[in-house]
Amino acid sequence: MSTKVFSLILLPTLQCNADCDYCFEVKTNDRLSLGRLQELIDKVLDHLVEQDIAGLMIHWQGGEAMTLPPSWFTRAQALIAAAAAARGRTVTHGLQTNMIGYSPQWNPVIREMFDNSVSTSLDYPNLYRRRRGQDAADYNAVWARNVRLARAAGIEVGVIAVPNAATLELGAERFYSHFVDDLGIRSFQVNTPFPGGESNQAKGLLPTGSAALIGFYIDLAEVWLARGERDGVRVGPFDELLAYFSGMPTVLPCIWTDDCANHILCIDARGHVAQCDCWVTSYPDYRFGNIFECASLSELLAASAVVERFHQRPMALVARDCIACDYLALCHGGCPVRAFSVHGTLFEKDPHCALYQALFGHLAGAAARQARVGAAPPFEDNPGLEK
């Protein structure tokens, strides 16, 4: 049996207790029953057996996962463990949550199912994340309170942040200090903004592909290298890139996967299957099919014309300007949904191409400098998927 691990982004609910202005998901009241979960997980694990894949990593997202009760996850964990054991597969779990619905009742589930860690999201400054009927200040206060409670219980909290125009004005030093010094966060990831889903004013203001955004990322990389890298602070994607260019084992973000259709799937609460959560919730024409309407997941994927279009993307980009790029083997043209959200087609490269090139060159240089002075190996990280 191979040692490969397949990633499943699982959306057990499409309900959400937040109303973020730049969210790309179309929300519904759908929730996955445990009976449907059994059917779903059986088909996913059977697919792994057919493909000779040893492990499954389930990234639990939403909607908002914590709109389901902790007891649901306890029963889901037992159900999945039994199904995996029957097939000789291993399953691990990660949780992405906005933490708005967190209470200490979640602690046993987080400890037992999610290895005592969660990933959450907050921007700085927060312009767009809010609870329904409330403002950003309310969201910040509830989020900070619940994160403090979780950390006091010994839970490791990682943060995903998306830069906005105000972030760029504040600068990298203040941004880093907010998370590390003010909030005490030791692991955070900075995702590139993109206007996925239905367009609106907030998405139009996101700094996609701007020179200021490139400068912010380079400055933030330098702040991390100077202040955090030796101290064990993890900042993605800088830590992964430094490890990559230092010849160390690493897990790069999914935006740079060679062909994500080979490694990642998303299934929502209704059984729709697509490439990731943005595709499954916002672009119905790009769904692969429905897992509850097929005999097997393997057959669904083999018969899907949409899957084939995803497989065609890497070579289509290579045949154009990507072939001349020094970082093709690392980037592979970038994220399909970021390209689609800006260009309306799969067959364009990621709109953050210039940012990636600048970042790759900067971290490659940092790795070379460390090698020359005999620096210790960089901190390894195993980041979660984009959200």
* pLDDT computed for residue 320 by the predictor: 84
Q: Pick the range with the lowest mean pLDDT from 188-192, 333-337, 380-384.
A: 380-384
- The DSSP 8-state label assigned to residue 346 in this structure reads S
336-384 pLDDT, tens digit per residue, is: 999 999 999 999 999 999 999 999 999 999 999 999 987 455 554 444 4
d(CA 110, CA 104): 10
What string of H, E and C letters represents the secondary structure of 74-113?
A: HHHHHHHHHHHHHHCCEEEEEEECCCCCCCHHHHHHHHHH
Give burial (CB, 10 Å; 0-12/13-18/19+) of 154: exposed
Mean pLDDT, all residues of the chain: 94
Task: Give residue-wise pLDDT tens across range 220-256.
Answer: 999 999 999 999 999 999 999 999 999 999 989 999 9
CA atoms within 13 A on the CB side of 250: 24
Q: Given this model, what pLDDT does residue 383 score? A: 44
Q: Is the Cβ–Cβ distance between 120 and 100 less than 8 Å? A: no
For the segment 79-105, what is each residue's pLDDT rounded down to a tens digit?
Answer: 999 999 999 999 999 999 999 999 999
State pTM to two decimals: 0.93
The predicted pLDDT at position 377 comes to 55
